[in-house]
Amino acid sequence: MNTKPVLYSILDLALVSQGHTLKETYNNALRLAQHAELYGYTRYWLAEHHNASNIASSATSILIGYVAQSTNTLRIGSGGIMLPNHSPLIVAEQFGTLASLYPNRIDLGLGRAPGTDRETAQAIRSDFMQAAHSFPAELEKIQTYFSKDNATAQVRATVAEGVEVPIYILGSSTDSAHLAARKGLPYAFASHFATTHLMEAIQIYRNEFTPSQDLEKPYVMAGVNIIIADTDEEAERMSTSLIRMIVGIFTGNRDYVQPGTEMNDEFRELLKHHKVHQMLKYSFIGSKSKVKAQVKDFIEKTGVDELIAVTNIYDTNDRIRSYELFSEIMKELA
């Protein structure tokens, strides 16, 4: 169990709400990050996804720069860059550049999933499957490009050499837990949607962890869905946008984020469906007092070092308010 306060951060997909333009979506993402800075959040991460009309974070490194430009202390990064989609050299150059522009503020979270459907993954990179299987080797290439020792190599990412960019390994199953432990890197689990293997993955990571020059002891981050309002009823109303999103994933009908509506019997039945119920297992929805008890229990059971809050709802002002209340909870639990 940790004795130090648990840090709290944000994972954002730059969700496109119904009736909003991409420009409005990006401006709202920046607004959220600026408020997060005021509320004491540690980091604001953006996730790489492709071919989804309701997600606007596909050009992740560009959006990271946009947000970093208009914030001051908040760490900005990727949660994550899907490495098999990219050349390690290009990733090192992009994040080396970002970290030179915004020193000590850029994080590089790396995942091995495509962040899209099979056909789009093939369109991004024809040898995607081979690259996914080579994830450990591709990770080592990025580490090499950031090393000062690579200055004498024939192939260099000159803008990355010696630049401080912490690397985080992302996972939604147990596979990446072994890798993060072996490499001695911090581990972030996507338990805001992949709930089944959270506890097992954390145990593997902690049991197998090998200290490195990057990290002396295990560091675990976990994603949780957070929707907080002044009343339980209002939070439930807002959560219907998230439920529709989840159903859209399972049915292949991905649409723009819809406005919240009354939590009726239809939504309650959807929540009972085993797939929806499992995906939303670590979703804490309600008033501040209700969510505080749930968050406290989650921290005690997992012993995580940091929570990554995900608030996928329609209205930006409601999101900002929810994140404000969550920051109050985390300060009270510290």
What confidence score (pLDDT) does residue 168 get?
A: 98
How far apart (Å, rounded) are the C-alpha atoms in residues 334 and 332?
6
Across the 334 residues of the chain, what is the mean pLDDT of every consecutive 10-residue run? 84 97 98 98 97 94 98 97 95 98 98 86 83 92 98 97 98 95 98 96 98 97 98 97 93 90 94 94 98 98 98 97 98 96
What confidence score (pLDDT) does residue 313 get?
A: 97
Query: Which pTM does this prediction carry?
Result: 0.96
How far apart (Å, rounded) are the C-alpha atoms in residues 250 and 267?
15
What confidence score (pLDDT) does residue 251 get?
A: 87
Angle (deg, nearest 10), helices 316-333 and 232-251? 110
Helix (H) or strand (E) holding 291: helix 288-302
What confidence score (pLDDT) does residue 2 get?
A: 56
63 with 19: CB under 8 angstroms? no
Helices (H), 74-227: 88-101, 118-124, 128-133, 135-146, 175-183, 198-208
| All structural domains of the chain | 7-333 (3.20.20.30)
Amino acid making up residue 162: G
Task: Name the residue among 212, 197, 232, 225 with its Cα closest to residue 313.
Answer: 225
What confidence score (pLDDT) does residue 272 get?
A: 92
Q: What single string gives the DSSP state of each residue in 16-31?
A: -BTT--HHHHHHHHHH
How far is CA 166 from each of CA 106, 151, 250, rounded to the nearest angstrom? 8, 19, 34
Task: Name the residue among 174, 39, 159, 178 with its Cα closest to residue 106.
Answer: 159
